[in-house]
């Protein structure tokens, strides 16, 4: 029996053409950069007409023109990159607030830490101690005076940062390797906190 | 006893010199001060000579060959702050990892204290070297400009190699979301996207490295504003591009890729180009084979991107 391929399930642009729906929408899924295609002006078109160049962004649903379903360049990109999603719909999805965090995390996070957390979740990750994202997840505090100061720093600064990475990661790529590193460190902080609490008693 | 030409005309010692600008030097040779008068006298003698055969040989030797390549100027170094260190010095860069936090609190609650949180990193250095071998036999036909050109080409090649390293450091650091993949010619909306998004995050792009052919596609952009300012229209007609578009300093060079356009902000918010030690040239001659040897050693170089947020790339796919 022939094996069912996951790839076969993806709609072709001709399938999309046959769908029913008021709007044709597209997005990019995963930790990928934006993509654009230059629109070609029709022959004998007046000078300075504004051309509908295509611009797709990761996790942002955009309405696109039907001309793109027949555009050879876009069809090539669609076949080449599986992360391009195109479909028809009657209702436009509510624009997700991709940058927002739960208020309890947001309140304990500096804007630069938030930026860094967002960047880690939207960039490729290599499980190597020298990789920038790995270094940030495992940030050490070489300036802390003693174990207690380190723990305080981990609780107040690092824990919300890791929680923010986790929220963003689950929202975008949901990559097990990133979540595993974040969870391991969160668990280590929790264990240290527990030991500290017992000693205080 | 008369001196060999290599004892009188020597390659410039690059010791203590900034090797970065070496690729842009107009001349790599210096004439021994004591012999300069003699050399000038020789040139005058030939110029005034009635011996047409001697004069034509001299002109042929002094005529520079037509350049088949364009000089290589480093393109990507502009995104880094250059720093120099002495030989054996330990190079350590501090990097802030998680900056401080300030919270709104009840007047009677405690203060959350911040502490410095940083890491130190040591860059990995690379070194480039090359050399030139001049057979004495070749001197009968190859004159001064040919030797100088050869030296120039070697320095351009070293610059090209250094630049490839700087580019790799940038490519490895650019966040995925900062790479716009574009199909077709470079259009206004793609460039505007990068300028707009970079301003949104507080690290505006202020400089770009672009192939002139790509920048000239600006001429066919659709300018949707009611009227293009006169100066812009003039620039578009005369140069096919407007050099100040978007507040970006467009650095054009034919050696820049025509499929990748690099954008960056202020180098002080990106990273370092560290140089350790000095460049040096060493000379010798091989009397067995009859050759003059010139060895060129660049200082140690390392490029480190500490903050990749000001870096963007437009890929033509």
Q: What is the pLDDT of residue A41?
A: 77
Domain final residue, candidates A55, A89, A123: A89
CB contact under 8 A, B224 and A135: no
Q: What is the pLDDT of residue B7?
A: 61
State how far the alpha carbon of A143 is from the alpha carbons of A134, A156, B120, B250, B299, in Å. 20, 15, 11, 41, 33
Half-sphere exposure of A160 (CA within 13 A, CB side): 23
Highest mean pLDDT out of A52-56, B10-14, B110-114: A52-56
Nearest-by-Cβ selection for A38 from B114, B117, B185: B185
Q: Are A58 and A32 in contact (CB under 8 A)?
A: yes
- Decide if B85 touches A, using CB distance below 8 A: no
Helix (H) or strand (E) holding A142: none
* Range name among A183-197, B164-178, B230-244 with the lowest pLDDT average: B230-244
pLDDT tens by residue, A81-92 = 999 999 999 988
Mean of the per-residue pLDDT values of chain B = 81
Q: Are B184 and B230 in contact (CB under 8 A)?
A: no
A128 in the same domain as A47: no
* Min distance B197 CA to chain A CA atoms (Å): 11
- Which of A53, A118, A134, A150 would best serve as a mutation to test chain B binding (most B beta carbons within 10 A)? A53
Q: CB under 8 Å to A106, separation ≥6 — which residues?
A: A100, A114
pLDDT tens by residue, B127-164 = 999 988 888 777 666 666 777 778 888 888 998 999 99
Q: What interface predicted TM-score (ipTM) does this complex get?
A: 0.71
- Decide if B183 touches A, using CB distance below 8 A: yes
Higher pLDDT among residues B209 and B155, named by residue? B209
- Decide if B124 touches A, using CB distance below 8 A: no
Mean pLDDT value across residues B103-132: 80
Q: Is residue A1 part of a domain?
A: no
Judged against a pLDDT cut of 60, whether residue B2 lies above it is answered with: no
Q: What is the pLDDT of residue B17?
A: 38
A107 in the same domain as A163: yes
The sign of the dihedral angle between the CA atoms of B25, B30, B36, B39 is: negative
How big is chain B, counted in residues?
317
What the block records as the tokens of A91 is: 């209702």
Nearest-by-Cβ selection for A158 from B98, B173, B182: B98
Q: Is residue A122 part of a domain?
A: yes
Domain final residue, candidates A41, A62, A89: A89
Residue contacts between A and B (CB atoms, under 8 Å): 118
User: CA dihedral in degrees (A42, A43, A46, A47; nearest 10)?
Assistant: 90
Residues B4 and B286: their CA atoms lie apart, in Å, by 13
Nearest-by-Cβ selection for B222 from A36, A49, A58: A49
Minimal-distance CA residue of chain B relative to A35: B181
Percent of chain B having pLDDT more than 90?
A: 27
* Range name among A55-64, A110-119, A178-187 with the lowest pLDDT average: A110-119
Higher pLDDT among residues A178 and A129, named by residue? A178
Q: What is the DSSP letter of A60?
A: B
Residues from chain A contacting residue B180 (CB–CB below 8 Å): 33-36
Domain final residue, candidates A89, A123, A156: A89
Judged against a pLDDT cut of 70, whether residue A74 lies above it is answered with: yes
* Min distance A75 CA to chain B CA atoms (Å): 12
Residues A107 and A159: their CA atoms lie apart, in Å, by 13
Mean of the per-residue pLDDT values of chain A = 84
Residues from chain B contacting residue A158 (CB–CB below 8 Å): 98
pLDDT tens by residue, B14-45 = 433 333 444 455 555 667 777 777 777 777 77
A76 in the same domain as A109: no
* Min distance B223 CA to chain A CA atoms (Å): 7
Residues B125 and B127: their CA atoms lie apart, in Å, by 7
Q: What is the pLDDT of residue B6?
A: 55
Q: What is the pLDDT of residue B14?
A: 43
A113: domain range?
103-200
Confidence label for A144 from pLDDT (cuts 50, 70 and 90): low
What number of other Cβ atoms are within 10 A of residue B144's Cβ? 15
Judged against a pLDDT cut of 70, whether residue A201 lies above it is answered with: no
Percent of chain A having pLDDT more than 90?
A: 40
- Which of B124, B177, B191 would best serve as a mutation to test chain A binding (most A beta carbons within 10 A)? B177
Q: CB under 8 Å to A3, separation ≥6 — which residues?
A: none
Residues B12 and B28: their CA atoms lie apart, in Å, by 5
Pick the CATH number of B5-79+129-316 from 3.30.2320, 3.90.1690, 3.30.428, 3.40.50: 3.90.1690
What number of other Cβ atoms are within 10 A of residue B80's Cβ? 23
Minimal-distance CA residue of chain A relative to B306: A132
Mean pLDDT value across residues B68-74: 78
- Which of A29, A32, A38, A75 would best serve as a mutation to test chain B binding (most B beta carbons within 10 A)? A38
Mean pLDDT value across residues A57-67: 90
* Range name among A23-27, A36-40, B217-221 with the lowest pLDDT average: B217-221
Q: What is the pLDDT of residue A66?
A: 92
Q: Is residue A97 part of a domain?
A: no
Q: What is the DSSP letter of A158?
A: I
A111 in the same domain as A75: no
Where along chain B do its domains lie? 5-79+129-316
Mean pLDDT value across residues A38-49: 77
* Range name among A47-51, A175-179, B26-30 with the lowest pLDDT average: B26-30
Q: In total, how many domains does chain A have?
A: 2
Mean pLDDT value across residues B160-184: 91
A78 in the same domain as A24: yes
Q: What is the pLDDT of residue B16?
A: 36
State how far the alpha carbon of B249 is from the alpha carbons of B53, B207, B252, B264, in Å. 52, 4, 9, 10
Judged against a pLDDT cut of 60, whether residue A6 lies above it is answered with: no
């Amino acid at each position: 029996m022939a094996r069912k391929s996951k790839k076969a399930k993806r709609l072709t642009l001709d399938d999309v053409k046959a769908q029913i729906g008021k709007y044709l929408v597209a997005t990019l899924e995963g930790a990928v950069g934006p993509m654009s295609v230059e629109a070609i002006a029709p022959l004998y078109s007046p000078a300075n007409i504004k051309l509908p160049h295509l611009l797709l962004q990761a996790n942002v649903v955009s309405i696109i023109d039907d001309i793109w379903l027949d555009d050879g360049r876009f069809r090539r990109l669609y076949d080449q990159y599986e992360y391009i999603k195109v479909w028809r719909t009657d209702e436009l999805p509510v624009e997700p607030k991709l940058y927002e965090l739960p208020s309890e995390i947001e309140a304990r996070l500096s804007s630069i830490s938030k930026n860094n957390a967002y960047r880690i979740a939207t960039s490729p990750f290599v499980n190597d101690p020298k990789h920038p994202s790995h270094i940030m997840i495992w940030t050490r505090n070489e300036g802390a005076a003693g174990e207690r100061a380190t723990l305080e720093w981990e609780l107040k600064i690092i824990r919300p940062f890791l929680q923010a990475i986790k929220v963003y990661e689950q929202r975008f790529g949901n990559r097990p390797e990133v979540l595993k590193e974040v969870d391991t460190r969160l668990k280590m902080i929790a264990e240290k906190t527990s030991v500290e609490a017992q000693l205080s008693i | 006893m008369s001196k060999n030409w290599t004892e009188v005309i020597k390659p410039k010692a690059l010791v203590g010199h900034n090797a970065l600008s070496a690729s842009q030097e107009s001349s790599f040779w210096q004439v021994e001060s004591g012999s300069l008068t003699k050399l000038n006298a020789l040139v005058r003698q030939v110029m005034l000579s009635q011996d047409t055969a001697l004069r034509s040989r001299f002109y042929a030797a002094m005529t520079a060959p037509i350049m088949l390549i364009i000089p290589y100027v480093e393109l990507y170094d502009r995104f880094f702050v250059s720093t120099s260190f002495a030989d054996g010095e330990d190079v350590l860069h501090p990097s802030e990892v998680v900056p401080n936090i300030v919270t709104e609190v009840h007047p009677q609650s405690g203060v959350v204290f911040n502490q410095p949180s940083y890491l130190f990193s040591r860059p990995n250095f690379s070194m480039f070297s090359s050399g030139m071998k001049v057979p004495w036999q070749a001197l009968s036909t190859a004159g001064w400009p040919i030797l100088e050109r050869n030296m120039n080409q070697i320095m351009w090649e070293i610059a090209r190699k250094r630049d490839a390293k700087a580019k790799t450091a940038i490519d490895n650091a650019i966040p995925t979301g900062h790479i716009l993949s574009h199909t077709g010619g470079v259009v206004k909306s793609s460039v505007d996207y990068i300028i707009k998004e970079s301003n949104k995050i507080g690290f505006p792009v202020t400089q770009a490295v672009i192939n002139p052919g790509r920048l000239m596609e600006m001429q066919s952009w659709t300018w949707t504003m009611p009227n293009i300012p006169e100066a812009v229209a003039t620039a578009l007609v005369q140069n096919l591009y407007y050099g100040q578009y978007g507040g970006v300093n467009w650095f054009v060079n034919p050696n820049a890729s025509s499929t990748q356009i690099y954008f960056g902000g202020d180098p002080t918010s990106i990273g370092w180009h560290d140089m350790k030690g000095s460049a040096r040239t060493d000379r010798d001659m091989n009397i067995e084979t009859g050759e003059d040897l010139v060895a060129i050693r660049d200082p140690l170089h390392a490029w480190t991107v500490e903050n990749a947020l000001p870096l963007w790339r437009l890929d033509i796919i």
